[in-house]
């Protein structure tokens, strides 16, 4: 199941129990980009574990003198680990500019479906504390985007550290 972990932590898979039936909905893990968040894709070199942003380099020039040397060390053909690591960064100024107005417009509508939504800061990450949702087929998009955006809002509004509060950073893990 896809999940995120960092300044905020949670799942991208939602399950609604309507009594007779459990409805399962998977959210696009990268949807925050449309609200101004930045996705940073990292790939790692085999052997040394350095990350690489530019995918054109033939080997890790920081740690090896040639591709042959790195191959000898790692014993694999593809020197870049095939599984990328995803990091999402939401800068406070982008959030203020793009998300807060969206929240204002959609708040009342969303609260109708989500009577309870509270967050808590636990072990240096913001997690959902209480959540109650009235599910219907038409509101899944709004409800889920609203919940994660509120979680990021909580992070910005409750983080009193003098350094590092201007950006909400978390890793995205895919199954």
Which spans of this chain sit near Zn ion (rule: CB under 5 A)? 45, 48, 50, 60, 62-63
φ/ψ region of 19 (left if φ > 0, alpha if ψ in -120 to 50, else beta) reads left
Q: How many CB atoms sit inside 10 A of residue 149's CB?
A: 21
Q: How far is the CB of 5 from Zn ion (least distance, A)?
A: 24
Cβ-based nearer residue to Zn ion, 6 or 84: 84
Rounded Cα distance between 131 and 120, Å, is 12
Q: How far is the CB of 46 from Zn ion (least distance, A)?
A: 9
State CA 70 to chain mean position distance.
32
Q: How far is the CB of 50 from Zn ion (least distance, A)?
A: 3
81: nearest Cα among 40, 54, 39, 51? 51
Cβ-based nearer residue to Zn ion, 13 or 48: 48
Cβ-based nearer residue to Zn ion, 12 or 45: 45
Cβ-based nearer residue to Zn ion, 20 or 65: 65
Q: How far is the CB of 43 from Zn ion (least distance, A)?
A: 12
């Amino acid at each position: 199941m896809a999940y995120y972990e960092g300044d905020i932590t949670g799942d991208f898979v939602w399950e609604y129990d309507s009594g007779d039936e459990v409805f399962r909905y998977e959210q696009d893990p990268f949807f925050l980009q449309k609200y101004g968040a930045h996705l940073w894709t990292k790939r790692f070199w085999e052997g040394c574990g350095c990350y690489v942003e530019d995918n054109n380099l033939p080997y890790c020039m920081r740690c090896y003198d040639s591709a042959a040397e790195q191959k000898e060390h790692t014993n694999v053909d593809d020197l870049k680990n095939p599984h990328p690591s995803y990091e999402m960064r939401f800068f406070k100024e982008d959030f203020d500019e793009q998300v807060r107005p969206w929240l204002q417009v959609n708040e009342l509508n969303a609260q109708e479906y989500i009577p309870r939504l509270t967050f808590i800061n636990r072990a240096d990450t913001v997690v959902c504390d209480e959540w109650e949702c009235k599910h219907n087929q038409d509101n899944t998009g709004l409800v889920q985007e609203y919940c994660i955006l509120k979680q990021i809002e909580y992070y910005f509004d409750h983080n009193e550290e003098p350094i590092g509060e201007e950006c909400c950073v978390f890793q995205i893990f895919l199954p």
